[in-house]
Structure 1
Amino acid sequence: MLDIGFWELALIAVLALLVLGPERLPSAIRSVSQLIRSVKQTANNLKSELNHELRVSELHEQLKQAEAKGMQNLTSAEKKAVSELEEAARSVNASIQPQNNPAESNSNQTKENKE
Structure 2
Amino acid sequence: MFDIGFFELLLVSIIGLVVLGPERLPVAVRTIRGWISDIKSFSNSVKTELTGELNIKELNDNLKKVEGLNLQNLSPEVTESLNTLKDAAESVYHPNKKENNN
Per the TM superposition, whether the score is higher than 0.5 is yes
Matching of residue 82 in structure 1 with residue 58 in structure 2: no
Aligned residues: 85
> In 2, are the aligned partners of 1:16 and 1:25 still within 8 Å (CA)?
yes
Distance 1:30 1:83, change over 3 A: farther
CA RMSD, aligned part only? 2.5
Quickly say closer, same or farther: Cα 1:25–1:73, change in 2 above 3 A.
farther
2: CA distance between counterparts of 1:84 and 1:34?
43
- Structure 1 length as normaliser, TM-score? 0.65
Instruction: Give the 5 Å matches for 1:21-36.
Output: 21-36=21-36
Larger radius of gyration: 1
Name segments (4+ residues, structure 1) moved above 4 Å. none
Unaligned runs of 5+ in 2: 90-98
Structure 1 unaligned regions, length at least 5: 90-95, 97-115
Q: Structure 2 CA distance, aligned partners of 1:2 and 1:58?
A: 35
Q: State the percentage of identical aligned residues.
A: 45
Give TM-score scaled by structure 2 length: 0.73
Give 1:72 deviation, angstroms: 4.6
